[in-house]
Structures are given as structure tokens and as C-alpha cells.
Chains A and B, each alone.
Chain A
Amino acid sequence: NAGVTQTPKFRILKIGQSMTLQCTQDMNHNYMYWYRQDPGMGLKLIYYSVGAGITDKGEVPNGYNVSRSTTEDFPLRLELAAPSQTSVYFCASSYPTDTEAFFGQGTRLTVV
């Protein structure tokens, strides 16, 4: 079972560039989440989705966009990358009931 797959694992961006972080899950989960984690800090929720076509802002949405056209995929888009977006990004998914969430292994992004 693949679970939650994030690509790429590592990326270096120049200031002002854009990119899409990919997240896909093969567990037919309705709920998907994007987090960022700065060094030595906890996870901060960026965006989440409760199903295809539905997305909502989390704690730190500025500078990011998401879409959810299928159940499996939840890409995170960075437009005009800034050094403050240097972080590790985690994607997660879960069923809507009281069950566990599964996390990907993260994408380490550096903006220079």
C-alpha cells in the first residue's frame, strides 16, 4: 500500500518562482490536509479539504493555493515563492469518521 505520497522530496526555488507540491493518496479518504513545519516548530495547517471540489483555509493560507478535483489528489501551489516559505511541507489524509490520519514523508522546500 502506497498510502500518502508526496513529490518532490526536496526542492530549491528561487525567489519569485512558482511550483506545485503534489500529494496523492490511494486510500479513498475524503479528508486531506496540507501543513508546513518550520525548524523546531510544530505543524501549521495551511489548507484542508473535506472532499472533491471543497477546500478551506487553515491557520497560514497566505501565499498558497489548493485545488481538489479528485478524491486522490490535493496539490499545493506556491506562487511567487518567498524565503519565508522555506519549510518542510506535509500532506495528510483521513476518513471523515473518528479514525487516524495518515501523513506523507514530507517535501523539504528551500527558497533562496
Chain B
Amino acid sequence: DAKTTQPTSMDCAEGRAANLPCNHSTISGNEYVYWYRQIHSQGPQYIIHGLKNNETNEMASLIITEDRKSSTLILPHATLRDTAVYYCIVRVGGSYNNNDMRFGAGTRLTVKP
């Protein structure tokens, strides 16, 4: 089973920030938090990842709590094209034989005009 829990769905107004939460209370010290999104039935697309520090790239920001048990993905100015299912996963970094990558159900974000 997935190691994360996310709300089933969220709405956001176009142009506003979208804040997507994720709980990963059993995360291990060597596990990273990754976010992907899936638009329609396309293959998932990588957004961002982090270990313990907050991260920002051209797509989004990732805020990880100090105890690393939860995180928030922030899309600063959501557009209609950001409507998608967003997946939060945890994954070990480095070469381990048990390095699988499991997805949960994700959060369906709908950006409304």
C-alpha cells in the first residue's frame, strides 16, 4: 500500500495559489517526498521532490514540516491547465534493492475560472 494519504479532491480558483496537502507519518529518514501529476489519461509527470528542506522550481514549491510527517505542494498561480490528479509518494533515495515506488489515489485538483 501507499505510504501517503491525500484528500480525494480539491477546487481552486484560477490565478490563486493551490495548496495540496499530504500526510506521510511513517516516512523514514532516507525517504524523499515526490510529487507527480497526471493530466487526463497521460503518463504521470514529475513536479518536484525534497528530503527535508523546502524546495522550489519553475512549476511549484514543496513545503515539508520539520518532523517530515507531512508536506504541502504549492502551485503559486493555478491555471486551468493545472487541473489534474496530483500524487504524493515517498521513495528511498539511493541504490536499494527494495526501491519500489507506490502511488496512492492522489488528489483530483480542479481549477475553476
Chain A residues in contact with chain B, CB under 8 A?
4, 30-31, 33, 35, 41-45, 48, 50, 54, 56, 58-59, 88, 90, 92, 94, 96-98, 100-106, 108
A-side interface mostly: strand
Against A, the Cβ 8 Å flags (1 = close, 0 = not) of B77-94 are 000000001010001011
- B44 contacts A45, CB within 8 Å? no
Task: Output the least CB separation between B44 and chain A (Å).
Answer: 5
Task: Output the least CB separation between A84 and chain B (Å).
Answer: 19
A56 proximity list for chain B (CB < 8 A): 97-98, 100
- A97 contacts B43, CB within 8 Å? no
* Extra contacts besides A42-B104, A94-B101 (19): CB < 8 Å: A30-B95, A31-B99, A42-B85, A43-B103, A45-B100, A50-B99, A54-B97, A56-B97, A56-B98, A56-B100, A58-B100, A92-B43, A92-B44, A92-B101, A97-B93, A98-B94, A100-B49, A103-B45, A106-B43
- B94 contacts A96, CB within 8 Å? yes
- B42 contacts A96, CB within 8 Å? no
| Chain B interface residue number, banded | 20 to 34
A-B contact count (CB 8 A): 74
Most A CB contacts (10 A, CB to CB) among B36, B85, B103, B106 go to: B103
The verdict on A101 contacting B46 (CB below 8 Å), with A42-B103, A42-B105, A88-B41 known, is yes
Task: Output the least CB separation between B86 and chain A (Å).
Answer: 11
